Amino acid sequence: MQCPFCTDDGNRVIDSRLARDGSEIRRRRECDECGRRFTTRERIEETLPRVIKHDERREEYDRTKLRRGVEHACVKRPVSTEAVERLVDRVERGLHESGEREVTSVHIGRRVLEELSAIDALAAVRFASVFRDFSSPSDYEAFFAEISDEPVHGDASEGADSVEGTVRSFRARR
């Protein structure tokens, strides 16, 4: 490991600590040449699968793109930035643990929809409307019927309660 100050290769580790979440090791080093100290971090290199898009294109997984989509669904909803980050972390962990080299964007979208429905029902509906490309009210009705196994009836005054009930029944089925 080269010293960032004098570029000498000689240095020694004076302290090693495991990060709080156990995902990396922090090493404090001292240069043998100039005596200055610096910190290095060691972590496992995780490779995430490539994403197969709807049109069969393949692209690298992009955490920022996923986070932006979830954040967009959560605009003006009581969902914190930390909750969004944890959701993206869980989706990534699932992708990594799958061991697959390639995964479809549909698989990722379904996973996000499941995770998001546990956080905020309306944000989940918003995400589904983009993920599934809803173009009419009947698309929403079909979605609600699909996740609840019941036809959707009632007027708009039922609002979030009916959405949350529908999403609750969706989670109960899983």
| 5 contacts 39 by C-beta, under 8 angstroms | no
Q: Sort strands 50-52 and 102-104 into parallel, antiparallel or unpaired.
A: parallel
Whether 174 shows a pLDDT value over 80: the answer reads no
**More reliable by pLDDT, 46 or 3:** 3
pTM of the model: 0.59
* Tens-digit pLDDT profile for residues 79-111: 999 999 999 999 999 998 988 999 999 999 999
Burial of 48 (0-12, 13-18, 19+ CB in 10 A): middle
Q: Domain segments of the chain: what residues? A: 11-43, 50-173
Q: Which residues contact 41 (CB under 8 A, 6 or more apart)?
A: 19, 24, 25, 26, 27
* Tens-digit pLDDT profile for residues 104-155: 999 999 999 999 988 988 898 899 999 888 998 888 888 877 766 544 444 3
